[in-house]
């Protein structure tokens, strides 16, 4: 691990926000911002893998984003196909396992097919798990987990936190240690509501297309300076 990070998050979750405003501030179209944002995904995935962060989750399309103009939704899905087209081979080569958090069946056919192909091809990746939250809503995830648990026929005494987590999209993964949101908004927007119970939050005014390696390092340094107590006193955490 690099000297500047005494410890890194095992799981980093990012709300990639601000593509539209980034573009508008430059007299460009919102879709140009999304394209710049997609390019930045490549940069951040590469750097997280290089640093050795084992789980990275990127909020790419929320269940509420369907309310956007159809042309913008279409552009986002087209960029997703482009991304998969160029990145799957690289992910496979670099040991990156791709997973989707969200309702894949509710995505357009071409994207659904490409994602399933990509997940299959990268399933053996051991160096990093890249979760794309797509057609994802935190409340939907929780309700779905409850429904799936009931369908599994578990008796009420087995409704524990640990079992419940097995029915979430993030099954088997650690909770996010650090949640980053770019572009200045101070809200969760229905992201990982269950999993972020004890995550550290980091908000930055930097728009997603500008959130490069240096900005990532700054967030990671801020995280390394946090004192996570999980309900205990600082003395207990220090072991004295
Ligand atoms: C984030 O950027 C990308 C998605 C939500 C898909 P936005 O498109 O939300 O950018 P702003 O918030 O309008 O600037
Ligand atoms: C959250 O951003 C969703 C993604 C980044 C994909 P939004 O831009 O959609 O969030 P709100 O609507 O401003 O809360
Ligand atoms: Mg936004």
pLDDT digits (tens, 9 = 90+) for 163-177: 999 999 999 999 999
Q: Is residue 49 part of a domain?
A: yes
What is residue 145's predicted lDDT score, i.e. its pLDDT?
Answer: 97
Q: Is residue 137 part of a domain?
A: yes
Question: For the segment 37-88, what is each residue's pLDDT rounded down to a tens digit?
Answer: 999 999 999 999 999 999 999 999 999 999 999 999 999 999 999 999 999 9
Question: For the segment 127-159, what is each residue's pLDDT rounded down to a tens digit?
Answer: 999 999 999 999 999 999 999 999 999 999 999
Q: Which ligand is nearest the CA of 138, by number?
A: 2
Q: Is residue 6 part of a domain?
A: no
Q: Is residue 3 part of a domain?
A: no
Residue nearest ligand 2's atom 1 by CA: 189
Q: Is the CB of 60 under 6 A from ligand 2?
A: yes
4 — pLDDT class (breaks 50, 70, 90): confident
What is residue 240's predicted lDDT score, i.e. its pLDDT?
Answer: 77
Q: Is residue 2 part of a domain?
A: no
Q: Is residue 4 part of a domain?
A: no
Residue 19 annotated as catalytic? no
3-class SS letters over the chain: CCCCCCCCCCEEEEECCCHHHHHHHCCCCHHHHHHHHHHHHHHHHHHHHHHCCCEEEEEEEECCHHHCCHHHHHHHHHHHHHHHHHHHHHHHHCCEEEEEECCHHHCCHHHHHHHHHHHHHCCCCCCEEEEEEEEECHHHHHHHHHHHHHHCCCCHHHCCHHHHHCCCCCCCCCCCCEEEECCCCCCCCCCCCCHHHHCEEEECCCCHHHCCHHHHHHHHHHHHCCCCCCCCCHHHHHCC
15 — pLDDT class (breaks 50, 70, 90): very high
Mean pLDDT of the residues in the chain: 97
Looking at residue 228, which CATH number applies to its domain?
3.40.1180.10
Q: What's the CA-to-centroid distance between 225 and ligand 2, angstroms?
A: 27
Question: For the segment 23-38, what is each residue's pLDDT rounded down to a tens digit?
Answer: 999 999 999 999 999 9
Q: What's the CA-to-centroid distance between 128 and ligand 1, angstroms?
A: 26
Contact criterion met (CB below 8 Å) for 44 and 14:
yes
What is residue 1's predicted lDDT score, i.e. its pLDDT?
Answer: 53
Question: For the segment 110-134, what is each residue's pLDDT rounded down to a tens digit?
Answer: 999 999 999 999 999 999 999 999 9
- Give the C-alpha separation, 208 to 16, whole Å: 5
Query: Which structural domain range is residue 96 located in?
Result: 11-237
Q: Is residue 158 part of a domain?
A: yes
Report how many domains make up the chain: 1
- From the candidates 65, 103, 190, 210, which is the catalytic residue? 65
Residue nearest ligand 2's atom 12 by CA: 189
């Amino acid at each position: 691990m690099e000297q500047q990070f005494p410890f890194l998050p095992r799981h980093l979750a990012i709300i990639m926000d601000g593509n539209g405003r980034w573009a508008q501030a430059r007299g460009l179209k919102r879709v140009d911002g999304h394209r710049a944002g997609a390019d930045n995904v490549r940069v951040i995935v590469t750097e997280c893998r290089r640093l050795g962060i084992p789980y990275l989750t990127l909020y790419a399309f929320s269940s509420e984003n369907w309310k956007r103009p159809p042309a913008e939704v279409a552009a986002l899905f087209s960029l997703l196909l482009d991304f998969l087209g160029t990145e799957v081979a690289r992910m496979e080569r670099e040991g990156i396992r791709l997973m989707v958090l969200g309702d894949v069946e509710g995505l357009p056919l071409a994207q659904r097919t490409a994602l399933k192909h990509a997940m299959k091809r990268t399933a053996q990746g051991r160096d990093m798990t890249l979760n794309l939250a797509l057609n994802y809503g935190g409340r939907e995830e929780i309700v779905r987990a409850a429904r799936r648990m009931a369908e599994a026929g578990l008796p009420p005494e087995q409704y524990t936190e640990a079992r419940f987590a097995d029915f979430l999209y993030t099954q088997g993964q650690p909770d996010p240690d650090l949640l980053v949101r770019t572009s200045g908004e101070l809200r969760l927007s229905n992201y990982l509501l269950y999993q972020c119970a004890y995550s550290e939050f980091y908000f930055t005014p930097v728009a997603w297309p500008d959130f490069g390696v240096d900005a990532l390092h700054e967030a990671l340094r801020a995280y390394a300076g946090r004192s996570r107590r999980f309900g205990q006193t600082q003395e207990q955490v220090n072991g004295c």
